[in-house]
């Protein structure tokens, strides 16, 4: 362990880099402190993987947040958590539940009606950035 700037850090040799896959990223597992700094919780089914690899997983997180690739192959990758976080962002934009949210957003984008899908209670979203 190396100590710098009054914070402890684990030093991992660069030849042994690993990635942590949460595997159950949902709004309930993202906590905010008093300063709105986010912290992840519930690492019960997480996996530590060697760089650029995947893991077979039989433990399941919340279905609505699961990566479709994981559902078809059973392999968790770093992209699995990115997909789950994307679903959470879509929920923030729309105020809708996670189930079917991707289909609703794709339909709205195709029909040119994304602005109607955005939740006005979530703030004034710049439509161009929301479409991206």
Number of domains in the chain: 1
Tens digit of each residue's pLDDT (9 = 90 or more) over 78-122:
888 889 999 999 998 899 999 999 999 999 999 999 888 888 887
Q: Is the pTM of this model over 0.75?
A: no
Query: Rounded to whole angstroms, how far apart are CA atoms 129 and 132?
Result: 5
48: buried, middle or exposed (CB in 10 Å: 19+, 13-18, 0-12)?
Answer: exposed
The active-site residue, picked from 24, 33, 81, 119, is: 24
24 is catalytic: yes
Give the pLDDT score at 45. 72
φ and ψ at 114, to 5 degrees?
Answer: -60, -40
Terminal-to-terminal C-alpha distance of the chain: 41
Query: Rounded to whole angstroms, how far apart are CA atoms 89 and 85?
Result: 6
8 A C-beta contact, residue 119 and residue 104: no
Q: Which domain holds residue 82?
A: 2-131
- Assign residue 105 the CATH number of its domain: 1.10.510.10
């Amino acid at each position: 362990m190396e100590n710098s700037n009054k914070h402890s850090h684990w030093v991992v040799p660069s030849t042994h880099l690993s990635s942590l896959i949460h595997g159950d990223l949902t709004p309930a597992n993202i906590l905010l402190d008093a300063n709105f700094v986010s912290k992840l919780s519930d690492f019960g089914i997480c996996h530590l993987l060697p760089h650029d690899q995947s893991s077979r997983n039989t433990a399941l997180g919340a279905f609505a947040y699961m990566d479709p690739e994981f559902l078809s192959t059973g392999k968790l990758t770093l992209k699995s958590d990115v997909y789950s976080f994307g679903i959470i962002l879509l929920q923030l934009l729309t105020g809708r539940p996670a189930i079917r949210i991707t289909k609703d957003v794709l339909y709205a984008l195709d029909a040119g009606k994304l602005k109607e899908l955005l939740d006005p209670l979530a703030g004034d979203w710049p439509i161009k950035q929301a479409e991206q």
